Amino acid sequence: MTSALTLLNVSLEYPDGGSTLKALDTVNLKVSRGEFLSLVGPSGSGKSSLLAVAATLVTPTSGLVVIDGQDVSALKESERTALRRDKVGIIFQQPNLLPALTAVEQLLILDHLRGKSVRAAKQRAEELLDVVGLAGVGHKRPHQLSGGQRQRVNIARALMGSPTVLLVDEPTAALDHERSESIVRLLRRVTDEFSTATVMVTHDTEFLPLTDAVATMRDGRLSRALEPSGQPN
């Protein structure tokens, strides 16, 4: 299988007083389409930094990020923005929905940038709300939705551009156990159905068996990875 997301010797340094802090230290990672990878590790170990670099939101100090065969460092800023818009779906812990907009409108707001017709976009938005289990609530605004429903809107929104790579940062941190499990199950189904290369940062070790592999961050270094069954990958 070809890799949808590749990080090659990626390091990310931040100035830290007189010295530098290595948020990422020579990280290597490949994720294929249809693969669901969990990323675990202590707080401050670099998990969100890895997602930010993979999302092309942060440029690494050194190393390569390749998305769908494109070396991100070779792109101009405008090309990078287009790549992110067309290939990357980002889901953070807090859904960050706009309070004034309905669920359908949350999905449509970025879509005019992708040059689709309003009608096609509306149809896709309705389909995706259906996929995430929100058929019939497209007209509701965030305050009328539960926390779990808001996270589902967030997931549907990330899928609007048909991303190759889906990056998810602690999607269940604000949810109770039952809703957390259904969100991880949804991400599993989405990964299978849309063949996304999905990376999910999580603290919920009990849901790791729903994913294909587990990678661990520690002090900016990544160990990849054991299958949940314990087989080296």
Interface positions with ligand ADP (CB under 6 A): 14, 21, 23, 41, 43-49, 217
User: Quick one: 90 or 125, whose CB is closer to ligand ADP?
Assistant: 90
Strand boundaries in the chain, DSSP class E: 3-16, 19-32, 36-40, 62-67, 70-71, 88-91, 165-169, 197-201, 213-218, 221-226
Q: How far is the CB of 207 from Mg ion (least distance, A)?
A: 17
User: Quick one: 45 or 106, whose CB is closer to ligand ADP?
Assistant: 45
Helix/strand/coil for 181: helix
User: Quick one: 34 or 63, whose CB is closer to ligand ADP?
Assistant: 63
Q: How far is the CB of 128 from ligand ADP (least distance, A)?
A: 28
Nearest residue to 95 via CA among 179, 155, 180, 159 = 155
221 with 27: CB under 8 angstroms?
yes
Q: Decide which of Mg ion, ligand ADP, none touches 44; Cβ closer than 5 to 8 Å per partner kind.
A: ligand ADP
Pick one of 38, 48, 102, 149: the residue that binds Mg ion (CB under 5 A). 48
Residues 6 or more apart whose CB falls under 8 angstroms from that of 43 comprise none
150 with 98: CB under 8 angstroms?
no
Instruction: Report strand pairing: 36-40 vs 221-226.
Output: unpaired
Q: How far is the CB of 26 from ligand ADP (least distance, A)?
A: 15
Q: Which residue is nearest to Mg ion (CB)?
A: 48
Q: Decide which of ligand ADP, Mg ion, none touches 14; Cβ closer than 5 to 8 Å per partner kind.
A: ligand ADP
User: Quick one: 14 or 112, whose CB is closer to ligand ADP?
Assistant: 14
89 with 117: CB under 8 angstroms?
no
Stretch touching Mg ion by CB under 5 A, among 31-39, 43-51, 79-87, 113-121: 43-51
User: Quick one: 49 or 149, whose CB is closer to ligand ADP?
Assistant: 49
Q: Nearest-5° angle of CA 66, CA 154, CA 29?
A: 25
Sign of CA dihedral 74, 33, 106, 123: positive
Q: How far is the CB of 149 from ligand ADP (least distance, A)?
A: 26
Nearest residue to 94 via CA among 182, 8, 157, 178 = 157
- The pair of structure tokens assigned to 68 is 């769908």
- The pair of structure tokens assigned to 155 is 């997931």
Q: Decide which of Mg ion, ligand ADP, none touches 180; Cβ closer than 5 to 8 Å per partner kind.
A: none
Stretch touching Mg ion by CB under 5 A, among 42-50, 73-81, 143-151, 189-197: 42-50
User: Quick one: 40 or 108, whose CB is closer to Mg ion?
Assistant: 40
Name the site residues for Mg ion (rule: CB under 5 A).
47-48
